[in-house]
Amino acid sequence: MQTRNPFIDDLTKVANGAMGALTGVKGEVEARVRDQIAKILDGMDIPRRDEFDAVKAMAARAREENEELKKQIAELQARLGSPSGPEA
C-alpha cells in the first residue's frame, strides 16, 4: 500500500522485514527447544506408553491372582481347622 508520505512507506517496509525476520527466529528457537527437550527425555529412563500399558495389565492380573490365592488359603485354613478336615 503506497501512501503520499515516503517516510511511512519506508517504515512499513522495515516493519514487514522485521516481522519476517522474527518469524524465522521464532522457528529456529522452537526447533532448538524441541531438540533440547528430546535430549533431556532421551537421557531419562521413561517407559513408552505400550510398555507402561503392558506392565499395568500384568499388575492387574497379579492382583486378581493374589485375591484368588487369598481365597484358596482361607479355604485350606478353614478345612485344616475344622473337625471334618483331613485329620478327623
Is the pLDDT assigned to residue 3 strictly greater than 80?
no
C-alpha cell belonging to residue 73: 488359603
Write the pLDDT tens digit of every residue in 16-60. 888 888 888 888 999 999 999 989 988 888 888 999 999 999 999
Is the pLDDT assigned to residue 1 strictly greater than 80?
no
pLDDT at 42 (0 to 100): 84
Residue-number span of the structural domain to which 59 is assigned: 47-88
Fill in the DSSP letter of residue 82: S
38 with 57, same domain: the answer is no
3 with 42, same domain: the answer is yes
80 with 56, same domain: the answer is yes
Compute the C-alpha angle 59/60/62, nearest 5°.
Answer: 60
Q: Half-sphere exposure of residue 33, counting CA atoms within 13 Å on the CB side? A: 6
Is the pLDDT assigned to residue 85 strictly greater than 70?
no
Q: Which residue has the higher pLDDT, 29 or 3?
A: 29
42 with 2, same domain: the answer is yes
68 with 88, same domain: the answer is yes
35 with 70, same domain: the answer is no
C-alpha cell belonging to residue 77: 485354613
29 with 61, same domain: the answer is no
19 with 42, same domain: the answer is yes
